[in-house]
Amino acid sequence: MIRKFLQIAVLIFFFLLAVTQVKGQEFPWSLQYITNMYTINPAYVGMWDRAGFGLSTRVNWVGINGAPLTQQISYNTPIKDQKSGFGLNIQRLNMGLEKRIYLTGDYSYQIRLDMHYYMRFGLRAGILSFNNNLTDYHLYPDGIPDPEFQNDINLYYMTIFGIGGVIYNEDYYVSLSVPQMINNTFKVNLERYSSLPEFKTMYLSTGYAFKLKRDLILRPNLLAVVTVGKPVFFDVAAILYFPGNLQAGINLRTNGAMCLTGQYTFRNNLRIGYAAEYFIFPDIHKYQLGTYEFFVGYDFNLYRRKNVRTNYF
């Protein structure tokens, strides 16, 4: 009954996206979000039995000067009662002369719906340090000043607050989140300069883990991202789990990009992942060499549970 309800809800949501004029596009923070879902939804923290650290570095559009560079370190853990979880994230984003540092904490709480399905709610709160020295940009070779770039922007305590939810069982899930619900504005003498395009972003994701022959597991995933003022962004992905803790995946995105991912988990629970994204259709592929992300994680059985479930998302 619950599964039928979830399937109908997902179909209705995507139908509404197709017939309305909502616009959005804010890409996930991580190319490997499909195996680190907490990056887009705080409800995932503490979902599984293990605690873990994660460290990632993402270099966008190699070959373009001033392209974004994102680095993130995170820690997630279930709380002993296993109905709740906690996470801490520090992220740095450099794009040209613009610098952002995010410090956020996540909390999730779980309720049981029936014998197989669970629902988790998540909260995210933190601060954002924003700095952009507009006066240091050299826009014109003749040195003519631009009135839009005559004031630096320095804000160190912009507020972050978000929510999320996920309904899941051992194989199937549907999640919805808005990681940032608060509009922050820049208190400077500038027009048409706002933080709104980054915020007010909604992530809807669903997937299923199919058990195949020879101990193979296939997990397709569909992600829809809606942000105020931009086209709706879709990411269709599939990840294949091989015996021996190896996994490989592919993402096809409506911005014309394709992403290849791979991850391996060693016997000591050390995880190493790599992702490479290339544009296929837009002309930008002529001017850059792709986007790359390297991930290192370590999971450990904090409460020494005898039976630890496999984490497929």
- On the CB side of 282, how many CA atoms lie within 13 Å of its CA? 14
312 part of a folded domain? no
Say how many domains are in the chain.
Answer: 1
51 part of a folded domain? yes
Contact 101, 124 (CB under 8 A): no
Looking at per-residue pLDDT, the higher value among 116 and 157 belongs to 116
The residue segments making up the domain with residue 160 are 2-300
> What are the tens digits of pLDDT across the range 78-110?
987 778 999 999 999 988 878 889 999 999 999
Query: Which phi and psi (to 5°) does residue 2 adopt?
Result: -65, -40
> What are the tens digits of pLDDT across the range 230-284?
788 899 999 999 998 899 999 999 988 999 999 999 988 899 999 999 988 766 7
Contacting residues for 236 by C-beta, under 8 A, at least 6 apart = 220, 221, 222, 223, 251, 252, 253
> What are the tens digits of pLDDT across the range 70-83?
999 999 999 877 78
Contacting residues for 58 by C-beta, under 8 A, at least 6 apart = 30, 31, 68, 69, 70, 71, 291, 292, 293
pLDDT band at residue 54 using 50, 70 and 90 as cut-offs = very high
71 part of a folded domain? yes
130 part of a folded domain? yes
Looking at per-residue pLDDT, the higher value among 143 and 12 belongs to 143
88 part of a folded domain? yes
CATH number (domain holding residue 118): 2.40.160.40
- The residue assigned the tokens 């195996």 is 35
> What are the tens digits of pLDDT across the range 124-151?
999 888 877 666 666 666 666 666 666 6
| pTM reported for the whole predicted model | 0.82
187 part of a folded domain? yes
- Checking if the pLDDT of 2 tops 60, the result is no
> What are the tens digits of pLDDT across the range 271-307?
999 999 998 876 676 778 889 999 999 988 776 666 5
310 part of a folded domain? no
Structure tokens at 58: 């993402």
176 part of a folded domain? yes
